[in-house]
Structure 1
Amino acid sequence: MMLTGMAAAKSFVIGVEEIDYYPLHRCVNGRFSGYGRDLLDAFAKQSGYSFTYLPLPVSRLFHTFLNDNSIDFKYPDNPRWQVDLKKGKDILYSSPVINVVEGLLVRPESVDQLSEASLKSIVIMRGFTPWPFDQDMRQKINDGTIRVYQEDSFGSVIALGMTGHYDAIYASPVVINYYLDVVVRKPGALVFDKKLPFESNDFFLSTIRQGGVVKQFNEFLAKNQSLIMALKRKYRLTDKTAQ
């Protein structure tokens, strides 16, 4: 349904992560692409909106979204991410855009060989929050028993994970599998270890000031399931592939 009048020309800025998390989303040379981009563009087109995507490093994106009125929306977001930064902020989240499994990937010879007790080192994307970890694991991270190495790109995260010098990397298996299969052509070089902590995370569109648009977005998601499934197939994000 097209909007009329001034609303039809309404433009918004969506803050997005300046990372390569393809096929879910990525930003390379300032261009945002992937499943998230296609879905948001489809909503904008159907609703008569114009979206500008502003890429920022993950940590800076949170600070800018929460404290700077220049960003209308953040994608992706999740109520459990950066909880301390969000204290006192009235944030509205959309319906889930996509459900993403995130956990620990290890070298093939290490599958089923590690446990929460034996895990000593993890490589992670800077700004990411490893939510599957329980209180005991978090305490081990805080006191240095489990060392966490942060990198600025998933290329670096994956490269370090493949060296064998670190126990595991934290990411979405669908992202890592795409990178290994398509980019470096080393399929199976890292394997999702379901014996280690993992979790299904929903990705949301969030806002502080544009609740009306989020309501429209929710209606779009509910009414366009065939489009959503077509985009998931396009980006190899069907449930079987993603998990």
Structure 2
Amino acid sequence: MLGLFVSTSFSKTYVVGVENINYYPNYTTINGKYAASAGKEILDAFAKDAGITFKYKPYPVARLFTTFLKKKSKLDFKFPDHEYWKGPDKKSFCKKLGYQPSESAVGSAGEPGTGINQKCIKFSQYAFQYIDGVMVKKENLGKGQGALKKLGTIRGFTAWDYIGGIKSGKIKIKEANDFQGLLKQISKNRIDGGYMSISGGRHGASQIGLAGKLVYDPALPATKSGYKLSSHKHKDIIEKFYKFLVEKKDMLDEIRKKYKVYNIYKK
């Protein structure tokens, strides 16, 4: 008698909430689909290593936060994320779940005073670094913050490093839908500078013939940080992702170099 055995393996599928925006090379959604980028390639590599499947669900930036911060959220993870982003909303969410905030709490990468209880929302280490700063015309490099009367931002993002000047009215904000639109406004002198991801700005400038003409001004205030994976449902998988980032560093560095997000600032 011939016995027929069929072996079928199933990997568990998790839903990752992502931003419905073209923020390449960091991460990008094109025509409603999460597309090739540093973020996607690193997450896909982890999923393969862990024997799980990630399904990516794009949302507008603001809606992604509200969808994620629900006890019965349809999302298992959020990427990118950081303790500081919508911090008060996260602390309020955690308090409703019975977790008290602590202003002495530190972030997963050692950031001080996040107030987010990691027993509530678990954050990974940085998948990769980023700089959010100001790009200007090369001839305006080094003119200082006083020269920024009109500052451009990507729609849905806040230039936190300039919030004081914005609130006082010293700096006027003008939004654009993407990097290229923002860069074109700088080139045409419609704004004095654009606050954006520097890796994204450099890539965008190269795509429209402005590489070298529009540059990052390191003398201006900027945020140097990193993108994290977060979850309030699957803290064990966040722990696995943390180990993956450490153990597969050499392989991941190749991905970071491929997308030009490798070690873009030195700690």
Asked if 1:102 corresponds to 2:163, the answer is: no
C-alpha separation in 2, matches of 1:96 and 1:241 = 13
C-alpha separation in 2, matches of 1:188 and 1:16 = 31
Asked if 1:149 corresponds to 2:174, the answer is: yes
C-alpha separation in 1, matches of 2:213 and 2:147 = 21
C-alpha separation in 1, matches of 2:25 and 2:225 = 16
Paired residues of 1:161 and 1:168 also in contact (CA < 8 A)? yes
Paired residues of 1:58 and 1:126 also in contact (CA < 8 A)? no
Paired residues of 1:17 and 1:56 also in contact (CA < 8 A)? yes
Shift of 1:100: 0.9
Aligned partner (choices 36, 46, 56) of residue 59 of structure 2 = 56
Which residue number in structure 2 is paired with residue 163 of structure 1? Answer: 188
Which residue number in structure 2 is paired with residue 81 of structure 1? Answer: 85
Which residue number in structure 2 is paired with residue 180 of structure 1? Answer: 205
Shift of 1:97: 0.9
Which residue number in structure 1 is paired with residue 44 of structure 2? Answer: 41
TM (norm. structure 1) is 0.87
- The 10-residue stretch of structure 1 (208-217 or 67-76) with the greater mean CA deviation from structure 2: 67-76
Higher normalized contact order (CA 8 Å, seq sep 6+, divided by chain length): 1
Paired residues of 2:147 and 2:192 also in contact (CA < 8 A)? no
Q: Which has the larger radius of gyration?
A: 2
Shift of 1:217: 0.7
C-alpha separation in 2, matches of 1:49 and 1:200 = 31
TM (norm. structure 2) is 0.80
- The 10-residue stretch of structure 1 (43-52 or 227-236) with the greater mean CA deviation from structure 2: 227-236
- SS in structure 1 of the partner of residue 44 of structure 2: helix
The one-character-per-residue Cα deviations of 1:180-221 (angstroms, maximum 9, x if unpaired) are 11x212212311011110121111001111101101111111
Asked if 1:203 corresponds to 2:227, the answer is: yes
Unaligned runs of 5+ in 1: 1-6
Paired residues of 1:17 and 1:57 also in contact (CA < 8 A)? yes
Asked if 1:16 corresponds to 2:18, the answer is: yes
Percent identity of equivalent pairs: 30
C-alpha separation in 2, matches of 1:231 and 1:241 = 17
Runs of 4+ that moved beyond 6 A: none
C-alpha separation in 2, matches of 1:209 and 1:218 = 16
Instruction: Give the structure with the higher percent helix.
Output: 1
Paired residues of 1:82 and 1:129 also in contact (CA < 8 A)? no
Which residue number in structure 2 is paired with residue 219 of structure 1? Answer: 243
Which residue number in structure 2 is paired with residue 127 of structure 1? Answer: 156
Asked if 1:116 corresponds to 2:145, the answer is: yes
Cα separation, partners in 2 of 1:94 and 1:240, compared to 1, 3 Å: closer
Asked if 1:25 corresponds to 2:27, the answer is: yes
Paired residues of 1:123 and 1:170 also in contact (CA < 8 A)? yes
Aligned residues: 230
Unaligned runs of 5+ in 2: 1-8, 94-119
Paired residues of 1:81 and 1:129 also in contact (CA < 8 A)? no
